[in-house]
Amino acid sequence: MEIRDLGEQGLLAMVKRFCPLEVVGDDGAVVTPVADQSVVVTTDMLVEGCHFSDRTTPPTAVGWRSVAANLSDLAAMGASPLGITVALGLRGETSSNWVQQLYEGMAQCLDQFQTPIIGGDICRSPINTISITAIGTVSPQRIIKRSTAQPEWAIVVSGAHGHSRAGLELLLNDDLGASLSETEKRSLQQDHQYPQPRLDILPTLQKLWDSDRHLIIAGMDSSDGLADAIVQISQASGVGARIEAQKLPHSNSLEKLAPAETILDWVLYGGEDFELVLCLPCDRAQQLIKHIPGSAIIGVTTTETQTILLTGTHPNSEIILTQKQGFQHF
């Protein structure tokens, strides 16, 4: 059945099943933040043909990814989620089953973190669009910002990069990946379709803050690419950065899939890996990576103004990273 046959009220009745009944039903949702916590609000939009297509992303994955993008932004601020709202713009000929699976994907991602859908809106649109607003809370003293990094701090990534881009390439090209096992191929495809927001890191960060209440951590997520994140943190904080290419974590699967130059491009600019990029004092960074499997210290902040990638020991092996090299909507 198409949603124009189902009608607005029928569609609302279907999606309300994914919301707590005691919260939805009025003109707005009422949530009660924890005392002495700041509220963090973030919005992200996914547009058909730009962020997803039927060729690479089934509706459950569209739902998962739309939620993951917002939860990743909360994690990047050090915030725990309270709930999300969902605004949908849908073509009339969209299948009601597509919408059902979309919400199932959202629910699967949200259920990991006991986070409800607390409201939203639905309207007719010439192109399918999902806009999600996530609400979270964080202690004011433990907000992670892009602007608080200091020179000589370690730069930490919470996990491997380049996997989402590799997964997308596999989904777009059936002939690619002959050297990979089916398990390796599926793992990379899953990394693209069902990325994991790194809210799991927050308890480890809380322990660091508990041991040092004056600790400041700068950072953001790498959804727009690792290089973009490092450059943005550097610019916001008024520092530079030196990154070592050999320290950038990625799986061996990528080395079977593409040449080294392509892998480096995927790692730096592929985007949609949804890992965290954090800057903090070196001794604290060493403590942090001991408790986060797959994490790594990839470089240090500097008193310079540029973000430099070291690809070897020769002076000519230095590459200046900029935002222009990554994905831009316009």
Residues annotated within the binding site for ATP are: 103, 120-121, 146, 223
| Residue 195 · residue 68 · CB < 8 Å | yes
48-85 burial, b if ≥16 CB within 10 A, otherwise e?
beebbeeebbebbbbbbbbbbbbbbbbbbbbbbbbbbb
Residue positions forming the annotated binding site for Mg(2+):
27, 42-44, 73, 121, 221, 224
Residue positions forming the annotated binding site:
27, 42-44, 51, 73, 103, 120-121, 146, 221, 223-224, 272, 327
Residue positions forming the annotated binding site for substrate:
51, 272, 327
| Residue 127 · residue 94 · CB < 8 Å | no
HEC sequence for 284-297: HHHHHHHCCCCCEE
- Give the bridge partners for 97, in sequence order: none
* CA 39 to chain CA centroid, nearest Å: 19
Angle between helix 182-193 and 59-76 (nearest 10): 70
- Give the bridge partners for 138, in sequence order: 38
| Residue 202 · residue 75 · CB < 8 Å | yes
User: In whole angstroms, how far apart are CA 128 and each of 17, 103, 135, 198, 224?
Assistant: 21, 14, 23, 27, 22
Spatial separation of the C-alpha atoms in residues 220 and 74, rounded to whole Å: 9
Q: What angle do CA 10, 62, 253 make, to 5 degrees?
A: 160
